[in-house]
Structure 1
Amino acid sequence: MAPSEQAEPRAKRARFAEEEQEPDLFGEEHDSYQEYIPLKKRRQIEEHELSKRSGMVASHAEQPDPAAETMLDEDGEEPLVKESLLVRTAKARKDQPTETEAQKRLREEQDMMRNITARTALRGVKELATGVVYTRSIKTGWKPPLKLRQLSDDDHEEVRHKFHIITEGHNLPPPILTFQEMKFPSPILQQLESKGIKRPTPIQVQGLPVVLSGRDMIGVAFTGSGKTLVFALPTVMQSLQEESRMPLVKGEGPLGLMICPSRELARQTHDVIKGYTTALLQAGYPPLRSLLCMGGIDMRQQEGEMRSGTHMMVATPGRLKDMLKKQRITLDLCTYLCLDEADRMVDLGFEEDMREILSYFKHQRQTLMFSATMPMKIKAFAESALVDPITVNVGRAGAANLDVIQEVEYVKQEAKLVYLLECLQKTAPPVLIFAEKTKDVDDIHEYLLIKGVEAVAVHGGKDQEDREQAIDHFKAGKKDVLVATDVASKGLDFPNIQHVINYDMPDEIENYVHRIGRTGRCGKTGIATTFINKNQSESILLDLKHLLKEAKQRIPPVLQVLHDPLGDLEEMAAASGQKGCAYCGGLGHRISECPKLELQTRQEAHKKKDYFGAGGFGGEM
């Protein structure tokens, strides 16, 4: 081996030896070596430190090594013990305040509501696909009188407080107490006076200024409070303004669209609008045409009316979808949309229909939603379709009309028909009788005819012509009693109804509120008699009990003895700000025990098709 190759290892050893002898430049000794402590002993040290901090020493723990206790860190202090995640979690739970049963249930309800309302926004398919979001309301040429605009917000709030009007939203238009200050033309004022309407109702005091100013709105008020005028008069004014600027030609329109859940309600709304357009025409104003679009009417007749141009349309969802698909009508010019009885329109079964109808709109629209019952789950979902909305609420959503005297009587199933004749003697006609099933409606109608009572019947199984004829005869006073299912319970205005009889208690408390709302309208007092027996579920009877209690009505002994499982109901209502169930509006239960939610959950589960059997692969298709 060459000398150079042998010298290299010695040079390296010498260099390492020199490095070992190199003095410390910082004047410190290399004595940082620490004795290795086994894992078991380190855990014992940690347990000892934790027990010292909490003031408790575990009896089963071994004493740590004294040598280990004297371990110091670089600063000469005892080293900090690292806590495990398990220990931290246990301490965090211990430090948390104890959660009461009511608070626990309230948290569970909030989670349920988030899951229920976490659905696609109620907008058209094209708007959802392209991400179109409107942020500003539609501007109109209407303004409140100057003297009202100059008043302070406190003055306006005092008026709202006087009429028990609750509002949500910002930049609220001022409440207006007269129709003259709302700037309606004299023919409309004369038409209102001829119908005995001299001053606005509370929902009209605040609702009409909101709609006239172009804002989106959710209107909630008890039945018979005049909600129809809140959306009917503004669409007449909008159509009059557009016709004055540029008259409609053949095939154009509608400018305003109102959708109703039933044919009877659609016809009633159309008749109201037609009354005001006729008054304007007789006074020399331009002709305004309105169209009734619903099933049971020859579509060719509706097409003929469309050819001359339509300003306003009142429709039911089924016929409207059919005509839109066949391109018989278009919504290219429509900028005004109202959903009457909106809780039914947006509820399960109508959601996709409404989304499909909204897809035919070409521009931004002013959207209005009205109902007497507006549960929180519907309200939260409805707000997704509105732009900067204002909520106008007169009384609690779902509350019964205080002008109705509610009487609840226990009647056996086999004795109902006989006792029905006795109840008819309470008041003079006209009287309205509601039943759940169409078979019961026919049986009651036949029984009353045999007993010599002038009665007519209405239900979904009858022809449209027969339904219209029965309602017209009843309204005209030719018949004394109308027997009907819930098709006649929502929105219909029957004059001078003094007595409503519920032959059976409906399955949902919302339907009960709508039924008894057919009487006690426009400030008049009415009576509602309801038959109950063991066939009704305890849940709906509890809802009825709390509804009677809220309206300060007499509670019969059969409801008094019912055990109320929700002892903390008032505490939860105060904590959540929501009385009763947030899903259906019932006062006798919370959302966790809601029978309507349970039923609809089961129905949705049955709709899921299982192509492979036994709930296996493909069950979600």
Structure 2
Amino acid sequence: MQQQPEWLSKALNNLNIKALNEMQEAALTATAQHKDLILLSATGSGKTLAFLLPLVEQLQQNPTTTTAIIIVPSRELALQIETVFKSLQLNLKVTCCYGGHKREIEENNLKQAPALLIGTPGRLADHIRRESINTKTITTLVLDEFDKSLELGFQEEVSFIIGSMPNIEERMLTSATRMEEIPAFVGLQQPVTLDFLNANEEKEIGLSIQLLQSEEKDKIETLFRLICMLGNRSTIVFCNHREAVERTSALLKERDIVNVFYHGAMEQRDRDAALCKFRNGTSNVLVTTDLAARGLDIANIRYIVHYHLPHNEDTFTHRNGRTARMEASGTAIVILGPEETKPEYIPAEAEEITLPTEAVIPDKPKWTTLFIAAGKKDKVNKIDIVGFLSNKGDLKKEDIGLIEVKDFFAFVAVKKIKASHTLNLIKDEKIKGKKVKIAVAK
């Protein structure tokens, strides 16, 4: 095998990765030899690196010009890719464009052209129409989760974006599911397909699928008893509609099950708060729509619960991809109502489980999440927050959990038993010389 360039060795070291996997190696080789590539590989197999790494040498040649664009179907996926790219520590500017926060923030970031542009179709199209982006310099297009990005709801905007970039030379499309027909406006010419979907045997071994019969058409009692049985393991509950998400979350709370909910109609800060609470252990249960089936890279999710049956096999695949990632194991549980039949795509050998007669409510999480009304744009970072909470809030290192710093606010997990005392101590204190609101995150 050819010796790795120095930047690649450093980047992998920054990510604490010893070596690329077979799929990532194949992607690097194929992009060096072919203009257009379709990459199919299971969720959690490392596709993000597989399309980011081939871009790097091109970006390094023109660091002050936007030469590559990545189009994704959701803001969460855009932010996830941005995080991975920044973790490579390549000293290349990246700008992420998505709805749900002020367009002006992005416009300011775009005044100095980023090397890499990542975004959702609607917001990218908006910037192109406003001429915030110089589309003539872009030569590489990546469509991540292309089966979703090219669905009817996005086609018009994606077609407009691609049509606005006259100098595209290379295209890379990635997904965890196949698409029968790719629209002509994408412009693929003799694409090479790398199909790792059938080869990923470890993924199949790591995921077990179970069936649970509900005696009631309204499955909430079955879901409640199931969560009691699963205990405090990290669990995502999928519903098909936003209204059902909020209703299910509320009914679980009535039964004393700590949970957070998440869907596309929420304000961005509320979405960030929900995901942060799930990541940091403030809540072990996330109730969500299929929005969370893509782009969320949350470690150690043990259970996926299909409270509502997925609309199709692709949705089933993407939901299940949140667990059993890389070499971890996970379980997907499908709840069937009395009038529902098992979909054909569920394996015949799926185990049917029964619930204990007695439901014991799991212990409450030991963490709570604080909201801090200051972030990166206020020059506040994780080290500042740890120092502040240690020095002013009387917290030890083990009392402080996961910290997430956004542009204008931050979230930090603290031990629940210490939260009230800490908030009382810091209520009149300043961070970086500035008084900011700090409270338990809603």
TM-score range, shorter chain: 0.7 to 0.9
Matches within 5 A, 1:134-173: 145=2
CA distance in 2, matches of 1:211, 1:409: 44
Give deviations 1:51-103, integer Å, cap 9, x for gaps. xxxxxxxxxxxxxxxxxxxxxxxxxxxxxxxxxxxxxxxxxxxxxxxxxxxxx
Q: 2:158 aligns with which of 333, 354, 376?
A: 354
Tell whether the 8 Å contact from 1:398 to 1:513 is kept in structure 2 after alignment. Answer: no
Structure 1 Cα separation of the partners of residues 62 and 275 of structure 2 = 35
Structure 1 length as normaliser, TM-score?
Answer: 0.53
**Structure with the greater alpha carbon radius of gyration:** 1
Q: SS at the partner of 1:314?
A: strand
Aligned to 1:290: 94
Residue in structure 2 matching 1:410, options 209, 213, 219: 213
Relative to its length, the structure with more helix (as a share) is 1
Residues 430, 480 of structure 1: 8 Å contact kept = yes
Listed as ranges, the gaps of 5+ residues in structure 1 are 1-143, 146-179, 281-286, 557-621
1:309 and 1:423 map into 2 onto residues whose CA distance is: 51
Instruction: Work out the CA distance in 2 between the residues paired with 1:227 and 1:446.
Output: 36
Q: Does residue 190 in structure 1 map to residue 10 in structure 2? A: no
TM-score (ref. length: structure 2): 0.74
In structure 2, do the counterparts of structure 1 residues 398 and 509 end up closer, same or farther at CA, with 3 Å as the change threshold? farther
Q: Which amino acid aligns with 1:480?
A: N
Amino acid at match of 1:504: H
Whether contact under 8 Å (1:223, 1:491) holds in the other structure is: no
Please give the alpha-carbon distance, in whole angstroms, between the structure 2 residues aligned to 1:534 and 1:221: 35
Instruction: State how 1:472-491 maps to structure 2 within 5 Å.
Output: 472-491=276-295
Q: What is the DSSP-based 3-state SS (H/G/I as helix, E as strand, rest coil) of the residue aligned with 2:345? A: helix
RMSD value, Cα: 2.6
Aligned partner of residue 405 in structure 1, secondary structure: strand
1:225 pairs with 2:45? yes
Distance 2:236 2:68 in 1: 33
Q: Does 1:423 align with 2:246?
A: no
Residues 482 and 237 from structure 1, CA distance in 2 versus in 1: closer, same or farther, beyond 3 angstroms? farther
1:185 is paired with a residue whose SS is helix
Q: Which residue, out of 75, 85, 108, partners 1:273? A: 85
Equivalent residues in 2 for 1:181-580 (5 A)? Answer: 181=4, 184-193=7-16, 197-213=17-33, 215-243=35-63, 248=64, 253-276=65-88, 279-280=89-90, 287-378=91-182, 381=183, 385-396=187-198, 401-414=204-217, 416-424=219-227, 425-426=229-230, 428-536=232-340, 541-545=342-346, 548-549=347-348, 553-554=350-351
Supply the AA of the counterpart residue of 1:388. Answer: Q
Deviation digits for residues 480-520 of structure 1 (CA, Å, limit 9, x no counterpart): 11110000002321100011111110121211111011000
SS in 1 for 2:344: helix
How do 1:596-611 residues align onto structure 2 when only pairs under 5 Å count? Answer: none
Is the 2:217–2:337 contact (alpha carbons within 8 Å) kept by the matching residues of 1? no
**Number of residue pairs matched by the alignment:** 352
Contact 1:431–1:482 (CA under 8 A) maintained in structure 2? yes
Q: What displacement does 1:306 show?
A: 1.1
Give the drift of 1:223.
1.3
Alpha-carbon distance, 1:213 to partner? 4.4
What CA distance in whole angstroms lies between the structure 1 residues aligned with 2:339 and 2:19? Answer: 45
The 8 Å contact of residues 42 and 197 in structure 2, kept in 1 or not, is answered as yes
Code of the residue aligned with 1:262 in structure 2: it is: S
CA change 1:477–1:542 in 2 (3 A) is: closer
State the structure with bigger RCO (CA 8 A, min sep 6), 1 or 2: 2
**Residues of 2 paired with 1:323 and 1:351: CA distance?**
17
One-letter amino acid of the counterpart of residue 344, structure 2: D
Partner amino acid, structure 1, of 2:225: E
Q: CA deviation at 1:421?
A: 2.4
Give the drift of 1:349. Answer: 2.8
- Relative distance call for 1:185 and 1:229 in structure 2 (3 A) is closer
Distance in 2 between residues matched to 1:339 and 1:212, nearest whole Å: 18
Higher strand share: 2
| Separation (CA, whole Å) in 1 of partners of 2:204 and 2:148 | 20
